[in-house]
Chains A and B, each alone.
Chain A
């Protein structure tokens, strides 16, 4: 019997061969994946940052959400209202003042067209001035909702900015205990950008509270320090629908 055992192939050698085979297959799959990844043309994704959308009066200190009305729409409104005013201006002198000297029809038509031209010019001037204002505001540091915003009300722009960042990071759990869970917390951001928070009112739902904590942790990575060099402190309310400033 010893002869047969001696002639058996070495099992250790076979294990080594098998290992080599597995490593080779692994390497092949790895290389294949790498090649596929290299050939895969990834199109650049563009994100629209709602916080940075243009605002009518960024320097006034109002938040982006409160006063967000693009310049184009405001001018459009002006254009729409103009025809209402212009006939008044034209109509009143005609109605109240003494009857003017009778002019030929061609003269009155010329006057009317002149007045219309004046009004149009005025509208265009207004339009240009409002557009220039918008450009000036944008060019300056005072972009509403940006961490560099300088509103008159201390920290009002920055609060909107923080709120939007928290909203982006907050994912409400699919299931929660109560009907309307709510977490009230006081968020404090130091002038150096250190973020701290205190939960003032818990939702008594572990998952919901954890989601709020996670949102703050996620937002922590993107949040910038307050622009005015002062500590920022603001209460926020987290609900399943989203985040609100208190």
Chain B
């Protein structure tokens, strides 16, 4: 637009930075929306499937259907660890017994905790950029505005005329930087808060699934 064309070099740079922030923020918002939405949907489906299916090996075979669910990842990690322990038991001719005394349950719990941590990291990836955009974009915009007003006042001083017709366009050009800063920051802050909440819910679900999983493992294998 014409207003962008008439701004100074510094204001132009500020605007470019803000546009970059806005583009990347929206990309992250789209990305996170898809990721969190799929994770929620498939977690619900996975939990249904988990409670309906009694056998761990049958669940493990169907895990590909729940590729986006963090709970499926947790199950997979726990199952791999459990298999390792069972394999060790076979070697010791104590098949299908996971001894709590030997720390077998602890091993699975550690594996689940590790998987939870990595899933949280995966879900929270790029969110820091949204937080950064939300907090810094208005200030960057403000810097552009201050600079624009400074240069426009300088120009007014040189021309000598201080009428509204002379002062107003310069200030309008300068204020566009603040406007774009806010345009970049507002969706970023909203997106950050929304996804933080959704991820917190998913983390809660992962914690409760880990506990449930450990309980099931203990119930199933300790009895034998």
Contact surface of A with B, Cβ cutoff 8 Å = 1, 3-9, 11, 14-15, 17-19, 21-22, 29-30, 33, 171-175, 207, 210-211
Contact at A9–B23, with CB atoms within 8 Å?
Answer: no
B119 within 8 A of A: yes
B12 located at the interface, meaning its Cβ lies under 8 Å from any Cβ of chain A in the complex:
no
Residues of A within 8 A of B26 (CB): 17-18, 21-22
The one of A4, A14, A29, A173 that contacts B73, using a Cβ cutoff of 8 Å: A4
Segment of B27-35, B85-93, B144-152, B206-214 engaged in the interface with chain A: B27-35
Residue of A nearest to B1 (CB): A30
0 or 1 for each of B26-60: is its CB under 8 Å from A? (1 = yes): 11111100110010000000000000000000000
Name which of B97-105, B132-140, B159-167 contacts chain A: B159-167
Q: Are A3 and B67 in contact (CB under 8 A)?
A: yes
Distance, CA A171 to CA B29, complexed state (A): 52
Closest chain A CB from B173 CB (angstroms): 15
Instruction: Provide the main secondary structure of the chain A interface.
Output: helix
Most buried by A among B23, B35, B126, B159: B23
**Chain A: CB-nearest residue to B23:** A18
Asked whether A11 lies within 8 Å of B160 as measured between CB atoms, the reply is no
Chain B residues with a Cβ under 8 A of chain A: 1, 19, 22-31, 34-35, 38, 67-68, 70, 73, 76, 118-119, 122, 126, 156-162
Identity of the chain A residue whose Cβ is nearest the Cβ of B25 in the assembled complex: A18
* Cβ-neighbour of B157 out of A18, A19, A30, A174 (below 8 A): A174
Select one of B28, B38, B156, B158 contacting A14, CB under 8 A: B28
Q: Is the contact region of chain B dominated by helix, strand, or loop, or is it mixed?
A: helix
Q: Whole-angstrom distance between the alpha carbons of A4 and B34 in the complex?
A: 14
- By the criterion CB–CB under 8 Å, are B160 and A174 in contact? yes
Complex CA distance for A30 and B162, rounded to whole angstroms: 30
Is A15 within 8 A of B1, CB to CB? no
Query: What is the minimal beta-carbon distance from B97 to any residue of chain A, in angstroms?
Result: 29
Known contacts: A8-B35, A8-B122, A211-B160. The answer to whether A22 contacts B23 by CB under 8 A is: yes
Given the known interface contacts A18-B27, A22-B23, A171-B161, the answer about A29 and B122 at a Cβ–Cβ threshold of 8 Å is no
| Neighbouring B residues of A8 by C-beta, 8 Å | 35, 122
Nearest-neighbor residue (CB-CB) of B183 within chain A: A25
> Using Cβ atoms and an 8 Å threshold, which residues of chain B touch A210?
158
- Given A21-B26, A173-B158, A33-B68 contact (CB < 8 Å): no
10 A-B pairs with C-beta separation under 8 A: A6-B67, A14-B27, A15-B24, A15-B27, A17-B30, A18-B23, A18-B24, A174-B156, A207-B158, A210-B158
Are the C-beta atoms of B34 and A9 separated by less than 8 Å? yes
CA distance A172 to B73 in the complex (A): 75
A123 CB to closest chain B CB (Å) equals 48
User: Which residue of chain A has the shortest Cβ distance to B31 in the bound complex?
Assistant: A14
Which of B24, B30, B118 is packed against the most chain A CB atoms within 10 Å?
A: B30
Which residue from chain A places its CB closest to the CB of B34 in the assembled complex? A9
Is the Cβ of B30 less than 8 Å from the Cβ of A7?
no
> Considering the chains assembled together, what is the distance between the CA atoms of A174 and B73 in angstroms?
71
